[in-house]
Structure 1
Amino acid sequence: MDEITTINDIQQLVIEGFTDWQRYGNVNTRRHGDLIIFNYNSFAQFEGRWSFFERVSRGLILHAQTGEVVARGFDKFFGWLEGGRYTSAPLVVVTEKVDGSLGLLYRTRDGYRISTRGNLTSVQGAWASQFLNSHYDLTDLPDELTLIFEIIYPENRVIVNYGERRDLVLLAARNRHTGDYLPFAPDVINLASRFGFSLPVTYPEFQSVEDVLKHLATLDANHEGYVIEFADGNRFKFKGARYLELHKLVFGLSFKNTLEAMQNGTVQEILDAVPDEFLNEVKAWIAEIDGVLNSTKARVQSAFEAAPKDTRKDFALWVQANQRDIAGYLFAMFDGKPIEPLIYRYHAWGHDETEGNNNDIA
């Protein structure tokens, strides 16, 4: 198989015992008992190709022996105009974007459980499973449905402050076999009423994307934004600027932190956590840092090769006469020391937050 293009392709590979999923895309898997959960990783976000396999791997759960789809959440959906994506289809429903953890209902021999997007045994999933089974009776819930929730409780706060609210907010319902979503109105609304689930706030007064964008500008940091479902099946998210500003501050997304992470070899941790809205900015920082490292190393290496190296005095005189601005790097190279830590420390990076590092090393 050259490429995964259908859910059936994934099922067939699972049945065959296939495990080398990175061959087909930037997707991680976790196995727990007889279940396998698929989740795209930060490399999928960084590269931005978004193959079919990567898009559907957003909490997809399959049975390891039979290949049965146990749960199927939302496929990956994007911010409005992210990567040039948009639609001109009519709006179907506009809902609040709830700020918690995604939860996916699935069935086991012991009853119902909830997983998070990439983990069958997460803390949030365990909390949600306990909350579900102590507050709701899902008798007669159609077997083919995956219920998709937002998990909210105080210890799971992201940015929005919900106070002491503890809740499972029903966002959508999806046929795990066909992949079809139930219409929000009336089907999801009826499911919520029947089983006692909360629903996200809806905004019937918004009749166009322009309406949403206009109101988006008025949101404070305690409102994440909106999700629009369109008539062609597309979903897009719209996040408020004040929410994003606070999110960036809380999670420490800055050039300085990215620089330190690259120096320490922990930049992957930033990529694993960065929201889509900030990914291009972080990618630009990484590219800038890599560019400086590579160009500086190349310049220093070229100068070092041209310099006389018979004695340290000859070398020093030549450096002072010809390459004084990179003298510190050249002397480090002469002494057999790595120059990359010096570049990180002393290069004038041109960002206000790093000015304290811009010392003369000549």
Structure 2
Amino acid sequence: MLPSTPPDEITLLVEIIHPVTRVIVNYDFVDLVLIGARERHTGRDLSYDELSQLGSSLGLPVVERVDMELARALELAKTLDAQHEGFVLRWPNGFRVKVKSTRYLEVFAAVHGWSEQSIARAWASNTLDGVITGIPEEFQSEFIKIKNKLDALLAAELQRFKAMMDTAPHGVSRKEYALWVRANMPQHLQPLAFDYFDGASIKPKTESYLRRYIITQFCQQKRG
């Protein structure tokens, strides 16, 4: 609730600063920040001086004003870090344009452009660790959570395959071996079992194959 009631003829424009509404920038306070106000009958956009007076009367912080030309704002936006979203340019008639910082847009795309399926695909191609180190620490937890889940599934499948290979028959014909494989092994592990029989160096292939199998199952579950 506002400390006092705004005038009836004024519509407030505020930014909600709260962890629940956070997108990228990690603010160190919780509040409503007054970013603009209009006369609701005429549509007139209050000047910054009027906005400051209104904010003072309502007990609301007011957005900072930075005086600069458009070209300067565009140039400065390239140098800001991800914790500075950018600028809102305001013309005398109230027209506004957002200028986002380059780094903010990069982080936004990195964080919000990833679905659980795309994270899983990065894990399958062994590129997820690089993705995680490339985003701010406070956004890494969801990526790490999915990575740990997939790592556990991979470890279980590798252990399962090893245990089955430890019981596989030796010194038998390929036909006899094939009959054992088809009777005792799940279908998705059978191609690996034949590589094992043929004496191939299967460790790298086994892990790569199982990663692809796991993300196929993972993505199907998410779609279902």
Give 1 or 2: higher strand fraction: 1
- Larger-gyration structure (1/2): 2
TM-score, normalised by the number of residues in structure 2: 0.49
